[in-house]
Amino acid sequence: MLEKQQHAPMFRSRNQNNQLVSLTDYADEKIIVLYFYPKDDTPGCTIEANDFTSLAEEFAKLDTVIIGVSKDSCASHTDFINKFGLKVELLADTSGELCQNYGVWREREKNGVKSMAILRSTFIIDKSGVLNDVMYGVTPEGHAQEVLQKVNDLVNPPPIEAEPVTIEEE
Protein backbone atom coordinates (compact mmCIF):
# COMPACT_ATOMS: atom_id res chain seq x y z
CA MET A 1 0.00 0.00 0.00
CA LEU A 2 1.12 3.51 -0.75
CA GLU A 3 1.46 6.14 1.95
CA LYS A 4 1.34 9.91 2.21
CA GLN A 5 4.52 11.80 1.32
CA GLN A 6 5.77 9.10 -1.08
CA HIS A 7 6.38 10.02 -4.69
CA ALA A 8 3.35 8.99 -6.73
CA PRO A 9 4.02 6.01 -8.98
CA MET A 10 4.45 7.06 -12.59
CA PHE A 11 1.44 6.44 -14.78
CA ARG A 12 0.96 6.53 -18.51
CA SER A 13 -2.30 5.31 -19.98
CA ARG A 14 -4.84 6.12 -22.69
CA ASN A 15 -7.86 8.27 -21.88
CA GLN A 16 -11.39 8.16 -23.25
CA ASN A 17 -10.14 9.88 -26.45
CA ASN A 18 -7.39 7.26 -26.91
CA GLN A 19 -4.74 9.90 -26.07
CA LEU A 20 -1.77 9.02 -23.85
CA VAL A 21 -1.91 10.74 -20.47
CA SER A 22 0.89 10.62 -17.92
CA LEU A 23 1.76 11.97 -14.50
CA THR A 24 4.42 14.19 -16.06
CA ASP A 25 1.78 15.97 -18.20
CA TYR A 26 0.73 17.80 -15.04
CA ALA A 27 4.09 18.22 -13.27
CA ASP A 28 4.46 21.58 -11.55
CA GLU A 29 1.12 22.71 -13.04
CA LYS A 30 -1.80 20.85 -11.51
CA ILE A 31 -2.82 18.95 -8.43
CA ILE A 32 -4.14 15.54 -9.51
CA VAL A 33 -7.01 13.69 -7.93
CA LEU A 34 -6.49 10.14 -9.22
CA TYR A 35 -9.42 7.95 -8.32
CA PHE A 36 -9.77 4.24 -9.05
CA TYR A 37 -13.19 2.68 -9.47
CA PRO A 38 -14.37 -0.84 -10.37
CA LYS A 39 -16.47 -0.44 -13.53
CA ASP A 40 -18.08 2.14 -15.82
CA ASP A 41 -21.83 2.69 -15.57
CA THR A 42 -22.42 0.76 -12.35
CA PRO A 43 -24.35 2.33 -9.45
CA GLY A 44 -21.51 3.30 -7.08
CA CYS A 45 -19.15 4.31 -9.88
CA THR A 46 -21.84 6.48 -11.45
CA ILE A 47 -22.52 8.23 -8.14
CA GLU A 48 -18.81 8.94 -7.68
CA ALA A 49 -18.27 10.18 -11.25
CA ASN A 50 -21.38 12.39 -11.12
CA ASP A 51 -20.31 13.86 -7.77
CA PHE A 52 -16.82 14.69 -9.08
CA THR A 53 -18.47 16.20 -12.18
CA SER A 54 -20.80 18.39 -10.09
CA LEU A 55 -17.74 19.77 -8.27
CA ALA A 56 -15.51 20.05 -11.37
CA GLU A 57 -15.58 23.85 -11.41
CA GLU A 58 -14.62 24.01 -7.72
CA PHE A 59 -11.69 21.65 -8.34
CA ALA A 60 -10.63 23.72 -11.38
CA LYS A 61 -10.53 26.87 -9.22
CA LEU A 62 -8.04 25.00 -7.01
CA ASP A 63 -5.84 24.15 -10.03
CA THR A 64 -6.85 20.50 -9.78
CA VAL A 65 -7.59 17.90 -12.45
CA ILE A 66 -9.82 14.88 -11.76
CA ILE A 67 -8.76 11.60 -13.38
CA GLY A 68 -10.68 8.37 -12.94
CA VAL A 69 -9.10 4.97 -13.63
CA SER A 70 -10.67 1.59 -14.27
CA LYS A 71 -9.83 -1.44 -16.39
CA ASP A 72 -12.58 -0.55 -18.88
CA SER A 73 -11.71 0.28 -22.50
CA CYS A 74 -11.46 3.76 -24.01
CA ALA A 75 -14.75 3.11 -25.85
CA SER A 76 -16.49 2.15 -22.60
CA HIS A 77 -15.18 5.35 -20.98
CA THR A 78 -16.47 7.44 -23.89
CA ASP A 79 -19.92 5.86 -23.57
CA PHE A 80 -19.90 6.43 -19.78
CA ILE A 81 -18.92 10.10 -20.19
CA ASN A 82 -21.50 10.71 -22.91
CA LYS A 83 -24.33 8.95 -21.06
CA PHE A 84 -23.94 11.08 -17.92
CA GLY A 85 -22.26 14.26 -19.26
CA LEU A 86 -19.22 13.64 -17.08
CA LYS A 87 -16.54 16.32 -16.74
CA VAL A 88 -13.71 14.04 -15.64
CA GLU A 89 -10.94 12.39 -17.60
CA LEU A 90 -11.01 8.58 -17.54
CA LEU A 91 -7.98 6.37 -18.08
CA ALA A 92 -8.26 2.87 -19.52
CA ASP A 93 -5.94 0.65 -17.47
CA THR A 94 -6.67 -2.41 -19.58
CA SER A 95 -3.34 -4.02 -18.66
CA GLY A 96 -3.93 -3.45 -14.94
CA GLU A 97 -0.47 -1.92 -14.48
CA LEU A 98 -1.76 1.28 -12.86
CA CYS A 99 -3.97 -0.71 -10.52
CA GLN A 100 -0.99 -2.84 -9.48
CA ASN A 101 1.33 0.17 -9.03
CA TYR A 102 -1.20 1.97 -6.84
CA GLY A 103 -2.07 -1.14 -4.82
CA VAL A 104 -5.78 -1.16 -5.67
CA TRP A 105 -6.01 -4.55 -7.44
CA ARG A 106 -7.19 -6.75 -4.58
CA GLU A 107 -8.85 -10.04 -3.86
CA ARG A 108 -12.41 -9.71 -2.67
CA GLU A 109 -15.10 -12.13 -1.60
CA LYS A 110 -18.68 -11.65 -2.71
CA ASN A 111 -21.40 -14.23 -2.01
CA GLY A 112 -18.71 -16.73 -1.02
CA VAL A 113 -16.84 -16.35 -4.33
CA LYS A 114 -13.31 -14.94 -4.34
CA SER A 115 -12.21 -12.80 -7.26
CA MET A 116 -9.88 -9.92 -8.08
CA ALA A 117 -11.29 -6.41 -8.38
CA ILE A 118 -10.37 -2.75 -8.06
CA LEU A 119 -10.65 -1.45 -4.50
CA ARG A 120 -12.28 1.98 -4.82
CA SER A 121 -9.45 4.33 -3.82
CA THR A 122 -8.35 7.94 -4.28
CA PHE A 123 -4.94 9.62 -4.33
CA ILE A 124 -4.27 13.34 -4.13
CA ILE A 125 -0.99 14.11 -5.88
CA ASP A 126 0.53 17.55 -5.33
CA LYS A 127 2.20 19.60 -8.06
CA SER A 128 5.61 18.12 -7.24
CA GLY A 129 4.33 14.55 -7.75
CA VAL A 130 4.11 13.62 -4.08
CA LEU A 131 1.13 11.80 -2.55
CA ASN A 132 -0.56 14.35 -0.33
CA ASP A 133 -3.33 11.94 0.61
CA VAL A 134 -4.00 8.22 0.15
CA MET A 135 -7.51 6.82 0.67
CA TYR A 136 -8.15 3.08 0.17
CA GLY A 137 -11.63 1.54 0.32
CA VAL A 138 -13.67 4.73 0.00
CA THR A 139 -17.47 4.99 -0.18
CA PRO A 140 -18.90 6.78 -3.25
CA GLU A 141 -21.50 8.92 -1.44
CA GLY A 142 -19.99 12.20 -0.25
CA HIS A 143 -16.48 11.20 -1.29
CA ALA A 144 -16.00 13.93 -3.91
CA GLN A 145 -16.94 16.61 -1.36
CA GLU A 146 -14.46 15.14 1.14
CA VAL A 147 -11.71 15.17 -1.51
CA LEU A 148 -12.55 18.77 -2.44
CA GLN A 149 -12.10 19.79 1.21
CA LYS A 150 -8.72 18.02 1.37
CA VAL A 151 -7.56 19.73 -1.84
CA ASN A 152 -8.78 23.08 -0.50
CA ASP A 153 -6.79 22.51 2.70
CA LEU A 154 -3.72 21.67 0.58
CA VAL A 155 -4.06 24.86 -1.47
CA ASN A 156 -5.24 27.08 1.39
CA PRO A 157 -3.82 25.55 4.58
CA PRO A 158 -5.77 26.44 7.69
CA PRO A 159 -3.86 28.83 9.95
CA ILE A 160 -1.83 27.19 12.67
CA GLU A 161 -3.00 28.36 16.03
CA ALA A 162 -0.07 29.50 18.09
CA GLU A 163 0.18 28.58 21.72
CA PRO A 164 -0.38 31.61 23.92
CA VAL A 165 2.88 33.02 25.18
CA THR A 166 3.09 34.19 28.74
CA ILE A 167 5.59 36.93 29.33
CA GLU A 168 6.82 36.99 32.86
CA GLU A 169 7.96 40.28 34.24
CA GLU A 170 11.15 40.47 36.22
CB 155 within 8 A of CB 62: yes
- Catalytic status, residue 99: no
Exposure of 29 in the CB half-sphere (CA atoms within 13 A): 6
End-to-end CA distance of the chain: 55
Return the DSSP state at 157: P
Among 138, 159, 150, residue whose Cα is nearest residue 4: 150
Report how far residue 91's alpha carbon sits from residue 14's, in angstroms, rounded to the nearest whole number. Answer: 6
Q: What is the CA radius of gyration of the chain?
A: 18
* CB-based contacts of 121, cutoff 8 Å, min separation 6: 35, 36, 102, 103, 104, 134, 135, 136, 137, 138
Q: Which of 21, 45, 99, 147 is catalytic?
A: 45
Helix, strand, coil percentages, rounded to 5, for the chain: 30, 30, 40
User: What is the set of active-site residues?
Assistant: 45
